[in-house]
């Protein structure tokens, strides 16, 4: 059973371009979470999705950011018109169920650099 | 809102000693608390989960305690090794159902 797969591992975008980050959860996992991590900082929750539904997007900026988890295919975190402040590591996690005693399985992250 | 605080200062210890990391939380009484390990350039990896009715949980050289009165969890690594050097994160599901993390404590074990 492959782990959580994120791609690309590294992404360089110029200011104003779009960034698309992909996350394939572990097989059988229907819950996906996206986090952002800045250097020397902890993981900040962005959005929680369950197949085809956004459950909680309270940590995601209202503008320029969007996320989806279609019935088929990976979850996508999309950042439009990127700015330098978007440079960070973005991690995706998945779980088979949602609950306080559920561990999250993380991917290796996508490191976005905006130049 | 719920907050998790970990000692942001790096912890440097000698090989063979016990490392103790602290996690404090506020404005919430979680039923479960989790600990993760994160190596540079990699995603966090789950280590242990402890329930509120468990005072202590062990896994090999790891031990976690959970004091719901103090709103604190302690994470111990006994007989530490250089390979234990990493950042350790505590996490809990807040009232909104989100898994939130502390900022992590970087542990460095010197040979």
pLDDT under 50: residue ranges of chain B:
none
Q: Are B65 and B55 in contact (CB under 8 A)?
A: yes
Please answer yes or no on whether A100 and B42 come within 8 Å at the CB atom: no
Shortest alpha-carbon distance between residue A91 and chain B (Å): 7
Q: Which residues of A touch B6 (CB under 8 A)?
A: 42
Name, in order, each residue with C-beta under 8 angstroms of A70's C-beta and a sequence gap of 6 or more.
A52
Shortest alpha-carbon distance between residue B3 and chain A (Å): 12
Nearest to A41 among B31, B93, B103 (CB): B103
Which whole number is the average pLDDT over A32-40? 91
Split at pLDDT 50, 70, 90, the class of A16 is very high
Please answer yes or no on whether B42 and A98 come within 8 Å at the CB atom: no
Average pLDDT, chain A: 94
Interface contact A58, partner B, CB < 8 A: yes
Which whole number is the average pLDDT over A6-30? 97
Nearest to B43 among A58, A91, A98 (CB): A91
Nearest to B43 among A98, A100, A106 (CB): A106
pLDDT at A1 over 70: no
Please answer yes or no on whether A106 and B44 come within 8 Å at the CB atom: yes
Q: Are B35 and B91 in contact (CB under 8 A)?
A: yes
Q: Which residues of A touch B30 (CB under 8 A)?
A: 100
Q: Express each pLDDT in A42-98 by its tens digit.
A: 899 999 999 889 999 999 999 999 999 998 899 999 999 999 999 999 999 999 988
Shortest alpha-carbon distance between residue B33 and chain A (Å): 8
Which of these, B11, B2, B3, lies nearest to B87 by C-alpha position? B11
Interface contact A48, partner B, CB < 8 A: yes
Interface contact A43, partner B, CB < 8 A: yes
Residues of chain A above pLDDT 70, percent: 99
Which long-range contacts link B79-83 to residues 24+ away (Cβ below 8 Å)?
Answer: B79/B16, B79/B18, B80/B13, B80/B15, B80/B16, B80/B17, B80/B18, B80/B19, B80/B107, B80/B109, B81/B15, B81/B109, B82/B15, B82/B109, B82/B110, B82/B111, B83/B109
């Amino acid at each position: 059973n492959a782990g959580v797969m994120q791609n690309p591992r590294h992404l360089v975008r110029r200011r104003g371009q779009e960034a698309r980050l992909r996350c394939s959860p572990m097989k059988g996992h229907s819950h996906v979470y996206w986090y952002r991590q800045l250097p020397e900082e902890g993981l900040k929750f962005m959005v929680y999705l369950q197949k085809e539904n956004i459950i909680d997007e309270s940590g995601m900026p209202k503008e320029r950011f969007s996320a989806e988890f279609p019935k088929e295919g990976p979850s996508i975190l999309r950042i439009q018109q990127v700015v330098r402040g978007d440079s960070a590591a973005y991690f995706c996690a998945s779980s088979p169920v949602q609950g306080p005693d559920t561990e999250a399985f993380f991917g290796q992250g996508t490191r976005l650099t905006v130049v | 809102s719920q907050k998790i605080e970990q000692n942001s200062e790096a912890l440097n210890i000698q090989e063979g000693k016990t490392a103790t990391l602290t996690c404090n939380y506020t404005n919430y009484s979680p039923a479960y608390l989790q600990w993760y390990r994160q190596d540079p350039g990699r995603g966090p990896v789950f280590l242990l989960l402890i329930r509120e009715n468990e005072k202590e949980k062990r896994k090999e050289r790891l031990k976690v305690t959970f004091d719901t009165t103090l709103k604190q969890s302690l994470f111990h690594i006994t007989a530490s090794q250089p390979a234990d050097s990493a950042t350790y994160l505590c996490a809990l599901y807040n009232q909104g159902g989100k898994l939130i993390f502390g900022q992590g404590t970087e542990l460095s074990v010197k040979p």
